[in-house]
Amino acid sequence: MALFKYIYLAGLAYRNKKILKCYRFLKESEKWQLDDLRQLQLERLKLLLSNAYANTDFYRKRFDECGFHPSYLSTLDDLKKLPVTEKEDVLANVSGIQINVPAEKMFFSETSGSTGRPLVFYRNQEWDAWHNASVMRGYSWHGVFPWERNGYLWGYNISFVKKLKVSFLDFLQNRFRLFSYESDGLDRFLSKLQKASYLNGYSSMIYEIAKRVNARGISSKFRLKMVKGTSEKIYDVYREEVQKAFGKPIVSEYGSAEGGIIAFECTQGNMHINMETVIVEEIDNEILVTNLVSTSFPIIRYRLGDYVKLGESGCSCGMAHPIIKEVTGRIGALIHGKTNTYPSLTLYYVFKNMASSHSVVLNYQAVQKTRGTLELLIESEVDEDGLKLINKEFNKYFKADLDVNIRTGVPRSNFNSKKKDFVSEID
C-alpha cells in the first residue's frame, strides 16, 4: 500500500504541484458556514468575470452587448444579468474563449459536443489542481485515498497498443479495468475486485457488474469502501443492484470537463455542490454552471444540458454546502441491445472514431423505439463507403446485438429534439 501511495504522490507532484495545496484548502473550507462560502464565491466570481472580460473576445462582446461590466458585480445575484451560454456558442467560439496562461502547464481537455463534434480546450494548472483536489476530497468523505487498489470501468473495446499504454498508466494508479464482458475478462476482474478498496466508472457499467455479482451469489466476497458512479444518471434499479452486490450505496460524482466537479455525494447520500469551484443555478429545472476556477477557458452560466432538482443546505454530515437532490437529466440513457444494455455515451465513441480515424465528421441523432434496434439520422448525405465505415464502427461496440437503420440526408429540423444526440422512447 505504501508503495502505491508514494508512486501516486510522485505522480501528483509530476502532474501538478498545486493539487495538494488545493486539497488542504478544501478540507478546511468543507467546515465553513454558508455565508463564508458565498463570500468566497463572490470573490472568485469577480476574478473570473474580470479575466473573461479582459482576455476573451467572446465574453467581452457578450458583456458589452448587455451593458455589463465586471466592476458592477456586487452580489452573487448580479451574475443573472449575464446571458446564458449555450454549448453551441462555445463550440463555435473556441479560439475566442481560450486564454493562454503563460508559464503554466496546460492540460488537454475534450468532451462530447451535442452533435458528436467534440469540444476541445485547455485547462491551466490551477484549474486542473482544483479539479483533482475536489475529487480527492469527495473520496476522503468515504475513507478512501485515491492510491488505494481500485477497479475501473471506463472505455472498453480498445486497441492492443492503446491497451498496453493504458495498462501501464493503470499500474501507476494501482487500478485495473474490465476490458470485456466475456466471461474470462469478467472472472479476472471480479477476482481482482475482491482485494480492492473501491470501484469507479460509468454508472451503467457498474450496474452491469453488480448484476453479474448478484447472479453468481458472490457478494460476500467484496470489501469495498466506496462504489462511485460518474458521467451518467444513476437509476433506482442501479442503486438496488449495487447495494445488494457490494453492501454499499452507489455514490455519485457529478461533473463535466467544462464545469469540473459540480457535486459529490456524502456518506448521508446527499450530493453537495462543490461551492468552492462552481456556482450552480437552476432555471426551468435545467442546470447552469459557472466554473469559478476556469481561468484558461471561462465557463460562465453554461447550459450543461442536464435537468436537476436542487435542495436546501443542511445535512447530517455537517457540511453547509447546498444539495443537488437529483440529476434527472438524460445524459446517461441506455441503449438496449437484444440481450445487453450500453451507455448512450458509446455513440460518442462511434462518432469520435469516425472523425479521428476516418476524418468523417457527422451530425447525427440516434432514436431508439424498440430493443435491439436503433434508428440513426444523419444530416449529410453519406456514400456507400461511408455507410460501411459507420457500420464497422457500430459493430466494434455492439456486435450483432444491435440492428442499426441509417437514414442520411435528414435535415436537423427533422431531428427529434434539437439538443440531444440520443433519444430513447424505451425507459
Q: How far is the CB of 234 from Zn ion (least distance, A)?
A: 17
Q: How far is the CB of 315 from Zn ion (least distance, A)?
A: 3
Q: How far apart are CA 200 and CA 234, in angstroms?
A: 13
Q: How far is the CB of 267 from Zn ion (least distance, A)?
A: 7
| CB of 154 closer than 8 Å to CB of 47 | no
Q: How far is the CB of 249 from Zn ion (least distance, A)?
A: 13
Q: Which is nearer to Zn ion, 90 or 323 (CB)?
A: 323
Contacts 24+ apart (CB under 8 A), 356-363: 358/389, 360/386, 360/389, 361/116, 361/117, 362/116, 362/390, 363/115, 363/116, 363/117, 363/412
Angstrom CA distances, 257 to 107, 134, 183, 226, 242, stand at 11, 13, 33, 23, 26
Q: Which is nearer to Zn ion, 319 or 402 (CB)?
A: 319
Q: Which is nearer to Zn ion, 104 or 265 (CB)?
A: 265
Q: How far is the CB of 142 from Zn ion (least distance, A)?
A: 12
Helix, strand or coil, per DSSP, at residue 380: coil
Q: How far is the CB of 339 from Zn ion (least distance, A)?
A: 39
Q: Which is nearer to Zn ion, 177 or 321 (CB)?
A: 321
Q: How far apart are CA 247 and CA 261, in angstroms?
A: 26
Q: How far is the CB of 271 from Zn ion (least distance, A)?
A: 9
* Cell numbers given for 349: 465513441
Q: Which is nearer to Zn ion, 194 or 268 (CB)?
A: 268
Q: Write the DSSP symbol of residue 345.
A: T
Q: Which is nearer to Zn ion, 71 or 268 (CB)?
A: 268
Q: Residues 6 or more apart from 141 whose CB is under 8 A from it?
A: 264, 266, 267, 317
Q: Which is nearer to Zn ion, 41 or 270 (CB)?
A: 270
Q: How far is the CB of 321 from Zn ion (least distance, A)?
A: 8
Q: Which spans of this chain sit near Zn ion (rule: CB under 5 A)? A: 266, 268, 270, 315, 317
Q: Which is nearer to Zn ion, 270 or 344 (CB)?
A: 270
Q: Which is nearer to Zn ion, 144 or 390 (CB)?
A: 144
- Tell me, letter by letter, the H, E, C secondary structure of 115-145: CCCCEEEEECHHHHHHHHHHHHHHHHHCCCC
| CB of 323 closer than 8 Å to CB of 315 | yes
Q: How far apart are CA 408 and CA 424, in angstroms?
A: 19
Q: How far is the CB of 146 from Zn ion (least distance, A)?
A: 20
| CB of 79 closer than 8 Å to CB of 73 | yes
> Cell numbers 479539479 label which residue?
131
